[in-house]
């Protein structure tokens, strides 16, 4: 698991930790010291970050209110400062909300949520406000109007850097006439900040990319030297609402687990697991609890009772262990014990205890004789002594079963004896953890190799451990309560280990809101004037207990410029990643794909492909792993990289077939051009030579090009449109003849009159090699205008 994870969306984010440890210094100083982490390290970048935070904020505010976002961003160049205006058409904010939104630097309702969201740190807009105030000294101006309100509220505020609270310096009501708001409701934030426009490219990218990935939003940017107006994609609705989910057992870390254990109301570990984690029911909890028990207590080895031919008489031993009871009752008790032990074939210490206790209960019920605790203890000891008389024989069976037949008997026996020797007074109840058992087996194997000059490889050792462990008994001891687990780091670690060892169903994906392939495509379509678009949305996958979905889209050709490498757009939770492209897993995955297979140029066979194309990759997750706090690059996590690759390849497959088809159409067109040039000349020449009348080459041409040929024949007012398909596959064509006189007797066609012209329309399906005849009759002086659709132009010949 990656270490940075605990810094995001978890309890102990770096920023919070830092802030906590720096309480004695002012918030301003904290910001100043850490602004590089928050994306405010330079004036150029500070402006982009401020826009980014404000726009994310605005998108969230409108979406939460169920309003399709309409975001307006304006950057004005003042004498000393730049002024940034960001306006949304959200529900507006009330005065009470102001301290919450603009106050505490680290305020954020989503900070702990396991739900896909834009900002995961809650550091957003307040950092921008603070940056503005620290660089310009001016208050932030906020105007807000709630829905159906005739007036809007106007505030000017600064953040008190000592108390970290907003301080409202001006508060007034504005009438509609005085309002700067563009819409009937919404919020407008205006701030001055020290900045420059050196990062204009990134700013434009950010806005344009945001528009791609939020096809449901209208976004407009006005800045001194340019503007972007991104319209809403037709039919794009609000993203699906996400649901917050509980953590997944595979997605927590030790610190989090200990904290959860301390906070829970459940006493039992099982109850805790079921109530605090997603996808954990009774069965999964039992599995985890057993695994936890194994790790906490270990398991007990089981031994075979002595056989019939053994010297030890188990029954006699039991009888001997019992004193001061009636002989008959003792005998009956002993028989019960021995029968149960022998029925079990192999028994562990705790199982012997249970058998003896059961026998005692039964005997008491039938004869009234009590076999008390002390007696039971003696009996258990007696039985146990008999069982453990020859451990090596039992272990031999397991070792023999676990090793290959090639191992000679002496080696197996030696190994078994050495393992057996490890058990005894040092291992009360013959109870060991798997780790301890493995240690025994490995030590015994080393020794055996040394003494017997044989080889016991790692596989053989593992097999022996597995064989023995599988047959060991889970102990019945009660597990520690949650409070105790919380208080002991080692025990908690055992629990975490147990949670990781059990298969748990992947977390639900209701916490994710992917854009979906059709809207990814729509987003690309509206922002890029290309020739081809494709998009792919993968199914949800899990990384470290956090579900994630990867989507990819490609736009190619058209007005896109070929500037060498393609334009790669990266997104995390619908937020464009503008900086640190080279450090991003997305970039690396795209570079490692063999793009030549998809008909794109890729010099050297690796690196970004070349050509007039845009590739977008969106990673949506409850917890996108970033390489750093400024969230500019997705960290290299194998599961996520795999999905990125699959998504991109899926989209690229469509690109490939498009490019293939285009290439073949191009070739076809070239061929047709050459042949169109050659055939008539050739025909003319042969007509000349043979002295025959001139030839028409269209039929031959159509046949050569496997074309669909549509020919008109008019014979005494009878019009025949012959649709000849010279290809191999069926052609479904729409043939429309626009006639200047009223047609009659149209075969199977529709006739519609419009403004003195008649549209005769057929939709025949003509299979390869076939011909369809469409007929009608018209007066002699009619004029025609034929259009044919449903066949690529290059494949169509209309006469």
Partner 1 sequence: MSDANTPDTPKGDDARDQLVELAEQFYDQFERGDVPKMSLPTRSKSNIEYDEDSDVWVYGDRTSTRSANSVRGARKLLKSVYTIDFLAQQLDEDRSSTLRELYYLSESWDEEEAQFNDQSESDKLVEDLEIVSGVKREDFHMRPEESGAKVMGPLRIREQTNRGDREIHCQDDVGQGGYQIPNNPDTIEFMDCDADFVMCVETGGMRDRLVENGFDDEYDCLVVHLGGQPARATRRLIKRLHDELGLPITVFTDGDPWSYRIFGSVSYGSIKSAHLSKYLATPEAQFVGIRPQDIVDYDLPTDPLGDSDVNALESELEDPRFQSDFWKEQIELQLDIDKKAEQQALASRGLDFVTDTYLPERLDEMGVL
Chain contacts with partner 1 (rule: CB under 8 A): 670-671, 674-675, 677-679, 681-683, 685-690, 692, 695-697, 699-700, 703-704
CB of 740 to partner 1, least distance (A): 30
* CB nearer to partner 1: pick between 175 and 692: 692
Which residues lie closer than 8 Å to 582 by C-beta, 6 or more apart? none
* CB nearer to partner 1: pick between 7 and 797: 797
List of E strands, 183-275: 186-193, 218-223, 226-230
* CB nearer to partner 1: pick between 670 and 767: 670
CB of 665 to partner 1, least distance (A): 15
CB of 613 to partner 1, least distance (A): 30
* CB nearer to partner 1: pick between 33 and 703: 703
Both tokens assigned to 145: 């109007």
Q: DSSP code of 170?
A: E
**Alpha-carbon span 582 to 299, nearest angstrom:** 50
| Phi-psi group of 39: left, alpha or beta (phi > 0 → left; psi -120 to 50 → alpha; rest → beta) | left
Which residues lie closer than 8 Å to 536 by C-beta, 6 or more apart? 517, 551, 552, 553, 647, 648, 650, 651
| Phi-psi group of 495: left, alpha or beta (phi > 0 → left; psi -120 to 50 → alpha; rest → beta) | alpha
CB of 702 to partner 1, least distance (A): 8
* CB nearer to partner 1: pick between 20 and 686: 686
- Rg of the Cα atoms in the chain: 40
**Alpha-carbon span 230 to 523, nearest angstrom:** 10
Both tokens assigned to 149: 């309100």
How far is CA 457 from each of CA 393, 406, 441, rounded to the nearest angstrom? Answer: 22, 13, 12
Neighbours of 311 (CB within 10 A): 6
* CB nearer to partner 1: pick between 197 and 766: 766
* CB nearer to partner 1: pick between 238 and 676: 676
* CB nearer to partner 1: pick between 11 and 699: 699
CB of 686 to partner 1, least distance (A): 5
* CB nearer to partner 1: pick between 697 and 782: 697
CB of 693 to partner 1, least distance (A): 10
Which helix (H) or strand (E) covers residue 712, if one does? strand 708-715
Assess contact for 788 and 798: CB atoms under 8 A: yes
Residue for token digits 């970033």?
626
* CB nearer to partner 1: pick between 331 and 695: 695
Q: Following DSSP, what letter does each residue of 582-638 receive, concatenated?
A: GG-HHHHHHHHS-GGGGT-B-GGG-SS-BSSEEEEEEEEESS--BSSTT--SB---H
| Phi-psi group of 424: left, alpha or beta (phi > 0 → left; psi -120 to 50 → alpha; rest → beta) | left
CB of 707 to partner 1, least distance (A): 12
CB of 117 to partner 1, least distance (A): 59
* CB nearer to partner 1: pick between 275 and 681: 681
Q: Which of 340, 406, 403, 16 is nearest to 419 (CA)?
A: 403
CB of 656 to partner 1, least distance (A): 25
CB of 766 to partner 1, least distance (A): 16
* CB nearer to partner 1: pick between 686 and 744: 686
CB of 661 to partner 1, least distance (A): 20
CA 128, 130, 136, 142 torsion-angle sign: positive
* CB nearer to partner 1: pick between 175 and 690: 690
How far is CA 273 from each of CA 405, 482, 484, 544, 645, rounded to the nearest angstrom? Answer: 44, 10, 15, 17, 34
* CB nearer to partner 1: pick between 406 and 729: 729
Instruction: Please write down the HEC assignment for all residues of 152-168.
Output: EEEEEEEEECCCCEEEE
**Alpha-carbon 760 to chain mean position:** 53
Both tokens assigned to 716: 């005494």
By three-state DSSP, how is residue 280 classified? coil
Q: Considering all CA atoms of the chain, what is the largest pairwise distance in Å, rounded to the nearest integer?
A: 137
CB of 697 to partner 1, least distance (A): 6
By three-state DSSP, how is residue 570 classified? strand
Q: Which of 26, 28, 51, 50 is nearest to 134 (CA)?
A: 28
CB of 715 to partner 1, least distance (A): 19
CB of 577 to partner 1, least distance (A): 49
């Amino acid at each position: 698991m990656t270490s940075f994870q605990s810094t995001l969306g978890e309890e102990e984010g770096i920023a919070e930790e830092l802030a906590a440890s720096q309480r004695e210094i002012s918030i301003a100083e904290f910001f100043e010291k850490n602004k590089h982490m928050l994306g405010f390290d330079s004036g150029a970048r500070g402006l982009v970050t401020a826009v980014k935070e404000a726009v994310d904020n605005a998108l969230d505010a409108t979406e939460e209110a169920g309003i399709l976002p309409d975001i307006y961003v304006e950057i004005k160049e003042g004498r000393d400062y730049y002024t940034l205006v960001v306006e949304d058409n959200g529900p507006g904010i009330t005065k009470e909300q102001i301290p919450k939104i603009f106050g505490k630097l680290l305020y954020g309702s989503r900070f702990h949520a396991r739900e896909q969201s834009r900002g995961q740190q809650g550091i957003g807009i307040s950092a921008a406000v603070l940056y503005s105030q620290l660089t310009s000294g001016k208050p932030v101006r906020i105007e807000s109007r709630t829905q159906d309100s005739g007036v809007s509220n106007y505030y000017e505020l600064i953040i008190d850097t000592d108390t970290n609270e907003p301080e409202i310096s001006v508060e007034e009501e504005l009438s509609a006439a005085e309002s700067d708001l563009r819409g009937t409701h919404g919020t407008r934030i205006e701030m001055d900040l020290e900045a420059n426009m050196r990062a204009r490219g990134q700013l434009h990218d950010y806005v344009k990319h945001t528009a791609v990935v939020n096809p449901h939003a209208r976004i407009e940017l006005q800045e001194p030297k340019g503007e972007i107006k991104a319209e809403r994609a037709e039919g794009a609705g609000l993203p699906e609402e996400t649901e917050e989910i509980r953590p997944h057992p595979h997605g927590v870390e030790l610190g989090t687990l200990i904290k959860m254990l301390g906070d829970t109301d459940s006493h039992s570990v099982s109850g805790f697991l079921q109530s605090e984690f997603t996808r954990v029911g009774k069965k999964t909890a039992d599995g985890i609890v057993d695994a936890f028990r194994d790790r906490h207590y270990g398991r007990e080895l089981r031994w075979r009772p002595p056989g019939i031919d053994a010297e030890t008489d188990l029954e006699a031993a039991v009888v001997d262990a019992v004193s001061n009871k009636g002989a008959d009752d003792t005998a009956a008790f002993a028989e019960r014990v021995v029968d149960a032990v022998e029925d079990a074939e192999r028994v562990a210490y705790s199982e012997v205890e249970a058998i003896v206790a059961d026998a005692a209960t039964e005997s008491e019920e039938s004869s009234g004789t009590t076999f008390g605790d002390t007696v039971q203890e003696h009996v258990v000891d007696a039985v146990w002594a008999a069982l453990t008389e020859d451990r090596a024989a039992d272990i031999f069976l397991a070792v023999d079963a676990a090793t290959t037949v090639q191992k000679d008997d002496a080696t197996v026996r030696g190994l078994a004896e050495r393992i057996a020797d490890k058990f005894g007074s040092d291992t009360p109840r013959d109870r060991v953890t798997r780790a301890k058992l493995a240690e025994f087996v490995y030590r015994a194997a080393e020794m055996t190799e040394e003494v017997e000059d044989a080889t016991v490889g790692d596989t053989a050792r593992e097999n022996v451990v597995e064989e023995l462990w599988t047959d060991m008994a889970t102990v019945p001891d009660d597990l520690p309560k949650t409070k105790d687990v919380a208080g002991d780091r080692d025990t908690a670690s055992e629990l975490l280990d147990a949670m990781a060892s059990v298969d748990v169903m992947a977390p639900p994906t209701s916490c994710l809101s992917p854009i979906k392939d059709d809207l990814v495509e729509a987003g690309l379509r509206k922002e890029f004037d290309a020739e081809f678009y494709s998009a792919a949305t993968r199914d949800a996958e899990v990384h470290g207990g956090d579900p994630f979905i990867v989507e990819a889209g490609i736009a190619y050709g058209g007005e896109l410029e070929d500037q060498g490498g393609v334009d790669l757009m990266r997104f995390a939770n619908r937020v464009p990643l503008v900086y640190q492209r080279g450090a991003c897993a997305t970039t690396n995955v795209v570079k490692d794909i063999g793009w030549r297979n998809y008909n794109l140029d890729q010099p050297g066979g690796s690196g970004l492909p070349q050509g007039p194309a845009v590739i977008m990759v969106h990673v949506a997750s409850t917890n996108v792993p970033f390489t750093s706090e400024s969230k500019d690059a997705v960290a290299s996590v194998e599961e996520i990289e795999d999905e990125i690759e699959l998504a991109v390849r899926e989209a690229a497959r469509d690109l490939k077939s498009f490019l293939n088809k285009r290439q073949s159409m191009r070739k076809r067109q070239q061929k047709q051009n050459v042949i169109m040039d050659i055939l008539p000349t050739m025909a003319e020449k042969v007509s000349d030579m043979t002295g025959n009348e001139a030839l028409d080459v269209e039929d031959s041409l159509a046949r050569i090009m496997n074309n669909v040929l549509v020919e008109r024949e008019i014979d005494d007012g009878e019009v025949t449109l012959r649709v000849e398909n010279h290809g191999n596959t069926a052609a479904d064509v729409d043939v429309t003849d626009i006639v200047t006189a009223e047609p009659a007797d149209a075969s199977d066609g529709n006739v519609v009159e419009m403004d003195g012209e008649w549209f005769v329309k057929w939709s025949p399906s003509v299979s390869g090699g076939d011909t369809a005849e469409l007929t009608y009759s018209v007066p002699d002086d009619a004029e025609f205008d034929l259009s044919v659709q449903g066949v690529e132009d290059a494949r169509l010949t209309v006469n």
